Amino acid sequence: MEDEIEFFELKEEDKPYGIKHRCFYFSKEVVKLVGMVKYDRIYHSMFDQLLRSATSIGANLVEGTAGSSKKDWRNYYAIALKSANETKYWLCLIRDTIDVSKEKLNELIIEANELSKIIASIIVKSQV
């Protein structure tokens, strides 16, 4: 339990940090972005899906750590990878359809892409 508390108390300036920390900070940035953006009702489902997929990445990595087997662990990491890819989709769609900070969205797209590559690499290396 103490490790879990430390996980959430780690500050961004305490780099380097692991993939779980990076996903946590990514989720925080997405939540903050969605909280700041004012959008019409028609766009609600896009932002809802973005929040779900972005926060799912780290949650599945953490859940996978508690997995009962290597197969279980790999399944959670595969779900995290799918969530990272889905997050990129929603970020791009929002960037191209709504008047919001393109700079911030592009930063988040780049980070989502990097997270996706890292998670994919972890999965591939675990199969060796």
Where do the domains of the chain lie? 2-126
**Mean pLDDT across 7-12:** 56
AA letter at 95? R
Assigned superfamily of 2-126: 23S rRNA-intervening sequence (1.20.1440.60)
Query: By CB neighbour count within 10 A (0-12 exposed, 13-18 middle, 19+ buried), where does 25 fall?
Result: middle
Q: Which residues contact 18 (CB under 8 A, 6 or more apart)?
A: none
The reported pTM is 0.84
Quick: pLDDT tens for 87-114. Answer: 999 999 999 999 888 999 999 999 999 9
Quick: pLDDT tens for 29-80. Answer: 999 999 999 889 999 999 999 999 999 999 999 999 887 899 999 999 999 9
pLDDT at 4 over 80: no
**Mean pLDDT across 109-120:** 97
pLDDT at 120: 97
pLDDT at 2: 45
- Higher local confidence (pLDDT), 84 or 16: 84
Q: Which residues contact 62 (CB under 8 A, 6 or more apart)?
A: 20
pLDDT at 85 over 50: yes
Q: Which of 91, 80, 68, 64 is nearest to 120 (CA)?
A: 80
